[in-house]
């Protein structure tokens, strides 16, 4: 079982106390408590817990509204506590980014796997998003390097291989990325083109 830092939000102090006791008895750490959805969002932003456990019925902001904000801002995994298990509620919770939910009253034997599922799903989701961002970043970097190579080929009459060698050599010499060197070449080319155009306009 993976352990994590957990934020609990429920407007019932007795429920919060029972939940905290259950959570800590299996090795998790409760880093914060809230009695309404608004405070839960504030604490999630400041504490960055691994998991936020939200009661669905809370003042100021209900659990689903808070879950939507916490999920959208990627502040941590979200698990919902509810007395309702009807399909519309489940669908609404899923759209809000809830990764697991428990129907009250629940037992510790049900709580432990639900916590584990929520945290595992969140880690998988964020890892996938990170991988996607990395791929997209590499695609954009390759596109910029390709444009920079064309600039060098046109301005200096060098081969494609030589253009890349120059970009790579400059990157190594200045401890910068290929993308940063490519962006610098493209900016210099734009400035040179603008300077060449200026006298013509006069």
83 & 154 share domain? no
Confidence of residue 201 (pLDDT cuts 50, 70, 90): low
Task: Report the C-alpha gap between 160 and 145 in whole angstroms.
Answer: 11
**How does pLDDT run across 104-156, given as a tens digit for each residue?**
777 777 788 888 888 888 887 777 776 676 777 778 888 888 898 998 898 88
85-93 — which CB contacts under 8 Å span 24+ positions? Answer: 89/56, 92/64, 93/56, 93/64, 93/67
- 69 and 154 both lie in a single domain: no
> For residue 86, what pLDDT band results from cuts at 50, 70 and 90?
low
Report the CATH number at residue 173: 1.10.10.10
- Residue 202 clears pLDDT 60, i.e. is over it: no
* Token pair in block for residue 22: 């259950």
Judge residue 89's burial from the number of C-beta atoms within 10 Å of its C-beta, 0-12 exposed, 13-18 middle, 19 or more buried: middle
Asked whether residue 143 is domain-assigned, the answer is yes
Range of 181's domain?
132-201
Q: Is 194 a residue whose pLDDT tops 90?
A: no
- Please check whether residues 71 and 143 belong to one and the same domain: no
* pLDDT confidence of residue 113: 83
Res. 1: pLDDT tops 70: no
Q: Is residue 10 part of a domain?
A: yes
pLDDT at residue 173, as a whole number:
81
CA atoms within 13 A on the CB side of 158: 15
Asked if residue 51 and residue 88 are part of one domain, the reply reads: yes
User: In this structure, are 96 and 150 located in the same domain?
Assistant: no
142 part of a folded domain: yes
Cα–Cα distance between 49 and 180 in angstroms, integer?
35
Q: What percentage of the chain reaches a pLDDT higher than 90? A: 8
Give just the sign of the alpha carbon dihedral 118, 124, 127, 132: negative
Residues 58 and 136 in one domain: no
Residue 47 pLDDT exceeds 80: yes
Within-domain flag for 81: yes
**What's the confidence (pLDDT) of residue 2?**
66
Any domain includes 154: yes
Query: Quick one: pLDDT at residue 53?
Result: 92
**pLDDT, position 99:** 81
- Position 87 scores a pLDDT of 66
Does residue 111 lie within any of the structural domains?
Answer: no
Domains contained in the chain, number: 2
């Amino acid at each position: 079982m993976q352990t994590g830092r957990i934020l609990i939000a429920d407007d019932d102090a007795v429920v919060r106390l029972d939940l905290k006791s259950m959570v800590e008895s299996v090795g998790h750490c409760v880093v914060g408590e809230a009695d309404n959805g608004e405070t839960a969002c504030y604490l999630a932003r400041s504490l960055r817990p691994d998991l936020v456990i939200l009661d669905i019925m809370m003042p100021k902001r209900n659990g689903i509204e808070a879950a939507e904000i916490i999920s959208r801002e990627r502040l941590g995994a979200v698990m919902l506590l509810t007395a309702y298990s009807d399909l519309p509620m489940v669908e609404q919770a899923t759209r809000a980014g809830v990764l697991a939910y428990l129907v009250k009253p629940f037992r510790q034997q049900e709580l432990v796997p639900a916590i584990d599922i929520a945290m595992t799903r969140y880690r998988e989701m964020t890892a996938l998003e990170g991988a996607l961002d990395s791929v997209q970043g590499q695609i954009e970097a390759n596109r910029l390097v390709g444009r920079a190579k064309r600039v060098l080929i046109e301005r200096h009459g060098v081969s494609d291989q030589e253009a890349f060698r120059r970009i790579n050599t400059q990157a190594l010499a200045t401890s910068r990325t290929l993308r940063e060197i490519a962006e610098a070449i493209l900016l210099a080319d734009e400035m040179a083109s603008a300077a060449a155009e200026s006298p013509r306009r006069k």
